[in-house]
Amino acid sequence: MQDKKIVQNTDEEFDVLVVGSGITGGWAAKEFCEAGLKVLMIERGRLVEHRKDYPTEGKGPWEYPYRTRTDNLLTEQQQSVQQQCYAFNDTTRHFFGNDRDLPYTTEKGTEFSWIRANQLGGKSLLWARQSYRFSDFDFSANARDGHGIDWPIRYKDLAPWYDYVERFAGIAAGQDKLPQLPDSISQPAFELTKPELDFKASLAETFPDRPLVAGRCAHLTQPGKIHMELGRVTCQARNECYRGCSFGAYFSTQSATLPAAARTGNLHIAPNSVVHSLVYDDAKQRVTAVRVIDNDDLSEREYRGKLVFLCASTLGSTQVLLNSVSKTFPDGLANSSGVLGRYLMDHNYNAWASARIPGYEDEYYKGRRPTGFYIPNSHFEPSRYHKDYIRGYALAGGATRGNWQGMSSSDGFGEDFKQRLTQAGPWQVWMGAQGEMLPRADNQVSLHPTKKDKWGIPQLHFNCKWSDNELTMMQYAAEDAANLLKTAGFEDINAQATQSPPGLAIHEVGTARMGVDPKQSILNKYNQSHDVANLFVTDGASFCSSGVVNPSLTFMALTARAAHYAIEELKAGRL
């Protein structure tokens, strides 16, 4: 990123202000910079340099005082919410926010776990990299069953943009030819283990509507010229991705979109710039600037721009819009519809099942692959819905052999115990559900009327909970997963439905949704504000439904599509 330009105070007017540097902010910056526009990327956190600022990369567990576990007292004091994330431990905690500095409130009787990653690259450094396309069944679900408003786009509108971002990002995936899971432009998939292949065959014979496929992930298995030019090479199957990857093998802002943007010479970055609000000119009916608070000294400054792409994450973008009030928009910028902050959704991960796989003592595998298997949603249209709930869920998991780490809580002492540590354990399989959450107006995030954070910004207040539909779905998902394992001949089966709060999937979407009708939505089909022509929101806030699959690949495609639309509008003089 030697060509980036760091900005603090400036009177310059930029062509585009991109708020946020995660998956969507990185894509917006890349597209605009490559189009020859001068871009300022505004990031509330610190700079993170690719390779240089991955301090725990490659360190062994023995190099940590608690063998990668965190100091319990320090964690409870500073990161009690963040520690709930699957990726949080002593090797990654520096990429997570400090809960003491990032307070929020929840309505009595509800919970929400807000995972934060405030640095250049955002959560693109920590995401699980699972990459699936929405299908037409996802885009049409609201219209078909009457829950939520209809998406203003269909699969055909986004398909070429999925192609576009997949070629650049690099997606390891099979060609599975499933109607509910469109195939990607892909590189070779990671191999399934022998027990997984046999499980796949068992499902094909017994449950032909439950195909098992290799998990699709944003990792390079056969990098091309476009990747190697940016210094990205083949995934080494270390599965230490959350620490940062100097190989650039998995897609992140640091490894891919940021160096692509920087090499144009058009990228400027304003780090440590906490966005307070957007400055709206009532007479011009445009956003003219972004007002920020310095992360360190709390001083105020503004950055001016002709076009604003809000990519601060679903909740971050919503907070900015709610706090941007004016004579025209007293309830939040671009909120003439009154739906800003409503229809908050997250995926429901509250069911799992596990089992022991007998046999296969002569089978093992090489490396630590960064993905597993995936069983797509079989309830993908109303005619397939379960009689007790609507929409559906996928199951994701993997089959692995136990190793010495599994002996950490076992009894033993002396030479015999040490010898057992050198032997592989039995094969085990685990899989968890990923269920859809319905869009409901009463699942809402708003600004707290009195409480503010240290930057003087009103805290977010959550009123969000699972409906009976989601709770019932997870009960069935646990039973379903256990039945699949039992039918395959696995043993010692355990299954459970839990009730962890929304937020922990880290797939929050829906609070500034797209739509045809400006009275019911914030954005049009190009992620452009109905009310403010030079304002776009391309992160998860724009979603009309959560779907079942992981949303990040759709974030990328929507952002690239919106950026190219905005570029054409600028050229035509309509922006």
* 511 burial level (CB within 10 Å; 0-12, 13-18, 19+): buried
Q: How confident is the model at residue 1 (pLDDT cuts 50, 70, 90)?
A: very low
Calculate mean pLDDT across residues 543-547: 98
Tell how strand 105-106 and strand 458-463 pair up. Answer: parallel
Per residue in 335-346, is it b (16+ CB within 10 Å) or e — as a string?
A: bbbebbbbbbbb
58 Rama class: left (phi>0) / alpha (psi -120 to 50) / beta: left
- Alpha-carbon distance 475 to 52, whole Å? 45
Length of the chain: 575
Per residue in 176-187, is it b (16+ CB within 10 Å) or e — as a string?
A: beeebbbebebb
The pTM (predicted TM-score) of the whole model is 0.97
Closest CA to 214 of 182, 176, 184: 176
What was the pLDDT predicted at 405?
A: 64
Q: State whether the Cα torsion 543-548-551-554 is positive or negative.
A: negative
The overall average pLDDT reported for the chain is: 96
Q: What is the pLDDT of residues 422-452, one digit of tens each?
A: 778 899 999 999 999 999 999 999 999 999 9
Q: What is the pLDDT of residues 390-420, one digit of tens each?
A: 999 999 999 999 776 666 667 777 888 777 7
Q: What is the pLDDT of residues 319-372, one digit of tens each?
A: 999 999 999 999 999 999 999 999 999 999 999 999 999 999 999 888 899 999
- Alpha-carbon distance 394 to 137, whole Å? 14
Q: What does the block give as tokens for 273?
A: 């710039």
Calculate mean pLDDT across residues 524-529: 98
Q: What is the pLDDT of residues 188-219, one digit of tens each?
A: 999 999 999 999 999 999 999 999 999 999 99
Q: What is the DSSP string of 314-358?
A: HHHHHHHHHT---SS-TTSTT-TTS-TTBS-B--B--EEEEEEE-
Q: What does the block give as tokens for 569?
A: 């509008």
